[in-house]
Each structure stands twice: as structure tokens, then as C-alpha cells.
């Protein structure tokens, strides 16, 4: 069954994606192979192209993971006596 092209679909070369992400081309290829980026092989000989919107989605996911990690670390830094207002205060302000 033929796939209808998306009007705003922009495909990038691995080097372009690597420049946007600030990583190497090999890391971009690894991200495609691990399905963290959406890529497709086009042409003869087949060359890898990465969907631009998948880079945006990947960066959004990474930002969310970083936010959740920061919240987790922050919650681990708090001591319960500090929260309850009793006991030893480790991080006095």
C-alpha cells in the first residue's frame, strides 16, 4: 500500500541532524537504530535521512527526562525532619 507523503515532512542528512543535536554522525545513526529518531533509507544507493520533526520530539523527550531527573534529585536532597519542621536541619538557609 503506497504511503502518502506528508506536506511538511523535511528529511535531513545524518550530518545535519548531528549538527543540530551536537553529537557525532555515528551517534545519530545509533539513535535511528535504537528508534529514538525516525529515519528512512532513500535513493539508490540507499542513504539515511532523518525526519526533522523526530529531532524535535527527541529533544523534547530528553528535556522532560532531565526535568524529571532534577525533581527526583531535589526530592532526595530534602530530609523529612526539614519538611516536618522537627529534628536536625541539614541544609539551613
Higher pLDDT, 1 or 16: 16
Alpha helix stretches (DSSP H) within 1-93:
14-21, 25-33, 52-77, 80-84
27 with 39: CB under 8 angstroms?
no
Q: What pLDDT digit, counting tens, does each position of 16-64 carry? A: 999 999 999 999 999 999 999 998 888 888 889 999 999 999 999 999 9
Which pLDDT score is estimated for 88? 61
At residue 83, does pLDDT exceed 80? no
Distance CA 70, CA 67 (A): 5
Q: Which three cell numbers stand for residue 55?
A: 529531532
Residue among 59, 68, 92 at smallest CA distance from 50: 59
Which pLDDT score is estimated for 30? 94
Which pLDDT score is estimated for 42? 85
Amino acid at each position: 500500500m503506497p504511503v502518502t507523503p506528508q506536506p511538511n515532512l523535511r528529511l535531513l542528512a545524518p550530518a545535519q541532524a548531528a549538527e543540530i543535536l551536537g553529537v557525532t554522525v555515528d551517534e545519530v545513526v545509533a539513535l535511528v537504530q535504537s528508534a529514538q529518531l525516525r529515519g528512512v533509507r532513500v535513493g539508490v544507493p540507499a542513504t539515511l535521512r532523518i525526519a526533522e520533526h523526530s529531532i524535535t520530539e527527541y529533544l523534547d523527550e530528553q528535556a522532560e527526562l532531565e526535568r524529571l531527573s532534577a525533581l527526583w534529585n531535589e526530592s532526595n536532597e530534602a530530609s523529612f525532619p526539614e519538611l516536618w519542621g522537627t529534628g536536625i536541619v541539614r541544609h539551613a538557609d
